[in-house]
Amino acid sequence: MDNDRKSFWSYSADSLFQEMQSRSSGLSTQEVDIAKKKYGLNVIRKQGNTGTISLLLNQFKSPIIIILLFAAGLSAFLGDASDTQIIVFIILVSGLLSFWQERGAKNAVESLLAVVDIKCTVLRDKLPIEISTQEIIPGDVILLKAGDVIPGDSYLLEETDLFVSEATLTGETYPVEKRVDLLPEDTPLAQRTNSLWMGTHVISGTAKALVVFTGEKTEFGRISERLRLKPPETDFTRGVRKFGYLLLEVTLILVLLIFAINVYFARPVLEAFLFSLALAVGLTPQLLPAIISINLAHGAKRMAEKKVIVKRLDSIENFGSMNVLCSDKTGTLTEGTVHLHSVMDAQGRASEKALFYAYINAFYESGYSNPIDEAIKAYRQFDLADYRKIEEIPYDFTRKKLSILVEKDQRLLMVTKGTLTNILEICSTVEIEQGNIVNFQSDNREKVQQNYQDLSTKGLRVLGLAYKEVDPTQKFDREQEKDMTFLGLLVLYDPPKDQIVESIAYLKELGVSLKMITGDNKFVAAAVAQEIGIQNAKVLTGSELSRMSNTALLHQVNQIDVFAETEPNSKERIVLALRKAGNVVGYIGDGINDVSALHSADVGVTVESAVDVAKGTADIVLLEKSLNVLADGVKEGRKTFTNTLKYIFMATSANFGNMFSMAGASLFLPYLPMLPKQILVTNLLTDFPELSIATDKIDVEMVEKPMQWDLKFIRRFMIVFGSVSSVFDYLTFGALFLFFHANVEQLRTAWLTESVISASAAVLMIRTRRPFFKSRPSRSLLLTTLLIMGVVGILPLTPVGAILGLVPLSLSYYGAIGLIVLLYIVSLEGVKKVFYARITK
């Protein structure tokens, strides 16, 4: 089909099949192979190109690096080839190091995401098969059911009570009814009821559709391209951005000041310019993006080992910050395997007829596979050879009922089951005993309600069952769900999971409080809450919630333990209120009715067995539906958060202090305290230990409580620990200048050596709040740190050192440097103890 023609909704099915060179039975394998070459994968291009070349070039797009490369070119133009080569080499090594680490992280994450690929049922060679949505091509005929994500813009061929949520595309909250039809070419998007759009999902019903457009040719693809849609910014990402602004301000002021003063003292302009730029490189944590990417990728791999798959890396930090977890009941807090406890008539007696009718309803249900129907069919099997299914009105979350129409002996029987309240609303009569049907008076209704309440308080779930004979001349639709005969109660139970009490206690120890959100009635919800260890639970029902203003909910939401009888939009409202009340909120759910809450939460969590739309919306997917698995994931998220902060602490302490010291020394020395190339080497060497921070071990106390970004704390940390570093830098300078009477080359060599060793030692100090000898670093971090200390010690003895302007030092110099570093370590430990003691008061 012509890619520029978007009016497929105005075609007839036959003409569209002809245009698409397809048929109602789908494409053949040979046709698929040809079409794949033409259309490619069904994906929307992500923000920016993430290919290898692009990733490599991204390492050098920093404005500071670009200016440095320009300065190197200017240096070459002025004939200083040696300095030019050294600066370019250092920049390249630093960039390639970041590229190698980020590329490994990117590949690891892509392999993890393949685990939770979303599938779609498609007709190929006339047979239904399940394939990845990325493999869908124009001309494919797809089969859809409730919970399925629509993989491409499609033309509706067949449907049964099809309702689709198009909120992702149109913003319309309520599901849209779809039907086979022929529409005018100028029909607006929202009114194209015979069309299905990529990125939307099926709420209820079934359908067969022809895929017309995929990937960027879809409406969703065009909007994404036009708006350049980006994922929402997490709290941590926002904090990193603000931290970057802080350092940028400090760096610009300092660099401009230093450059101006050096020019004032009539020092060579190019040398002063390069010196200022080198300081800027040292002051700027240019590795921060790479460190974050590496930390997140390592965190994602560790979480995968704990059966937690991260779809959106940024969500890991929010996972570590989470202090409230909202959970559905079924399958998360309970086993998720529903059992049929009993079937009763309106009087509370066992009813064989009600069981048989319930079996008819469950056996012929085809719209949405669910555990309730499986439980009914497993309880007892009946012979339905005399019955033939005629029609079905699928379950949806507005009606909360499911109707099946069957035919026997030329008579039509409609059987409906659903939530008791909704069933009672459509019943005008009641069968009080076999064949005895009377008007459904208040006394009979009270008896049913009393049985319902008694069963619910025991933690049993109760559904209603009704039936009636249908006139074959009348249309079978939702309007038929009235004037029915109440037949009985379906009593179900879903026991709490083993060790769920311990799991909830484990989360509580981690500082995460649990809030149960369920569609079950308040009696069942309260009973289950008691069983799982939530004592004296405060329960808020959906009806109470609907009467409550947003302000009132905001004041009460933190005190509520259980939200019962909730609608899907109520779940979203609860999550948003919790967030507005100052919490970092996680939501775990796996159904269609959980999608809005998953989207609204700081961290949306689902399971591998969830409906496709839930997996597509969630940030994190659990391979096992267990709170213990989730708690392990929370700890891994906090480890990732902690290791990212470690780099920031290092960048704002020893490194920052060293650069600040050099800037200050340049003001009163008759020469530059370090050459630009020496500053760049110092910065490069101190980067190596910090790149291995992602592998570092974490102190137990660092994962016990939720963690949040605190820019004020980081500012205080930078001032305090950066000042300590500067004090010992100036102590080094004083010793070299006053006692050793070092010449220019000796002073620069000794200062470079002390700067690198002290910054490397600081990595081992700052990485923990404990005394450093009571917290073991990872092997790679320790070895890298010791290696860099050794390299800088022997560097002045090598030809490379001579090129850098370094000279060999006597043992007395190394002794003085060792003594200063030892004093620095002791002082740093003392300051650290006082600093953390004050902030914990």
Residue 596: give its domain's CATH number.
3.40.50.1000
Please report which residue ranges of 156-305 form alpha helices under DSSP H. Answer: 167-170, 219-227, 235-264, 269-283, 288-305
Local structure of 256: helix, strand or coil: helix
Domain boundary among 467, 491, 515: 491
What is the pLDDT at residue 47?
A: 43
Same domain, 458 and 602: no
Residue 728 to residues 303, 720, 773, Cα–Cα distance (Å)? 41, 13, 22
State the total domains in the chain. Answer: 4
Same domain, 478 and 366: yes
Q: 52: phi > 0 → left, psi -120 to 50 → alpha, else beta; which? A: alpha
Same domain, 382 and 366: yes
- Tell me whether residue 642 is in a domain: no
Same domain, 466 and 529: no
CATH number of the domain bearing residue 278 = 1.20.1110.10
In angstroms, the CA 764 to CA 231 distance is: 35
- Tell me whether residue 640 is in a domain: no
DSSP of 134-176: GG--TT-EEEE-TTPBP-SEEEEEEEEEEEEE-HHHH---S-E
Domain boundary among 471, 491, 511: 491
219 CA to centre of own chain: 25
pLDDT digits (tens, 9 = 90+) for 392-402: 888 876 788 99
Closest CA to 467 of 341, 359, 338: 359
CATH number of the domain bearing residue 390 = 3.40.1110.10
Residue 560 to residues 509, 520, 545, 548, 674, Cα–Cα distance (Å)? 19, 16, 11, 13, 62
Residue 699 annotated in active site = no
Same domain, 138 and 260: no
Strand partners, 493: 339
As a whole number of Å, the end-to-end CA separation of the chain is: 70
Locus of tokens 């902690």 = 642
Residue type, 434: Q
- Relative to beta strand 461-470, strand 436-439 is unpaired
CATH number of the domain bearing residue 129 = 2.70.150.10
In angstroms, the CA 488 to CA 462 distance is: 10
- Tell me whether residue 298 is in a domain: no
Same domain, 210 and 149: yes
In angstroms, the CA 765 to CA 4 distance is: 62
Q: How many CA atoms lie within 13 A of 637 on its CB side?
A: 31
What is the pLDDT at residue 596?
A: 80
Same domain, 597 and 486: no
Q: Do the Cβ atoms of 419 and 461 come closer than 8 Å?
A: no
pLDDT > 90: percent of the chain: 32
Dig out the tokens for 393 from the structure. Answer: 């009105």
Structural domain of 589: 307-335+497-633
Strand partners, 162: 178
Instruction: Name the pLDDT band for 114 (thresholds 50, 70, 90).
Output: low
Same domain, 363 and 409: yes
Burial class (CB in 10 A: 0-12, 13-18, 19+), 582: exposed
CA angle 463–467–473, rounded 5-degree value: 140
- Tell me whether residue 639 is in a domain: no
pLDDT digits (tens, 9 = 90+) for 781-803: 999 999 999 999 999 999 989 98
- Tell me whether residue 327 is in a domain: yes
Q: Do the Cβ atoms of 597 and 551 come closer than 8 Å?
A: no
Q: Which residue among 83, 153, 161, 328 is the active-site one? A: 328
- Tell me whether residue 534 is in a domain: yes
Q: Do the Cβ atoms of 131 and 120 come closer than 8 Å?
A: yes
Q: Quick one: three-class SS letters along 705-741? A: CCCCCCHHHHHHHHHHHHHHHHHHHHHHHHHHHHHCC
Domain boundary among 491, 526, 557: 491
Closest CA to 626 of 298, 336, 371: 336
Residue type, 133: T
What is the pLDDT at residue 77?
A: 61
Helix axes 654-668, 711-734, angle to 10 degrees: 50
Instruction: Name the pLDDT band for 363 (thresholds 50, 70, 90).
Output: very high
H or E element that contains 104: helix 81-113
Average pLDDT, the chain: 83
What is the pLDDT at residue 82?
A: 62
What is the pLDDT at residue 548?
A: 92
Same domain, 217 and 86: yes
Same domain, 479 and 542: no
- Tell me whether residue 728 is in a domain: yes
Instruction: Give the range among 41-50, 381-390, 467-476 with minimum mean pLDDT.
Output: 41-50
Same domain, 539 and 569: yes
pLDDT digits (tens, 9 = 90+) for 613-656: 777 788 888 888 778 888 888 888 888 888 888 888 887 776 67
H or E element that contains 342: strand 339-345
H or E element that contains 20: helix 13-20
What is the DSSP code (8-state) at residue 340? E
Dig out the tokens for 742 from the structure. Answer: 């070092």
What is the pLDDT at residue 137?
A: 93
- Relative to beta strand 513-517, strand 324-327 is parallel
What's the mean pLDDT in 322-343?
A: 86
Dig out the tokens for 248 from the structure. Answer: 């940028």
Local structure of 329: helix, strand or coil: coil
Q: Quick one: three-class SS letters along 391-409? A: EEECCCCCCCEEEEEEEEC
Instruction: Name the pLDDT band for 733 (thresholds 50, 70, 90).
Output: confident
- Tell me whether residue 149 is in a domain: yes
Same domain, 69 and 218: yes
In angstroms, the CA 603 to CA 634 distance is: 11
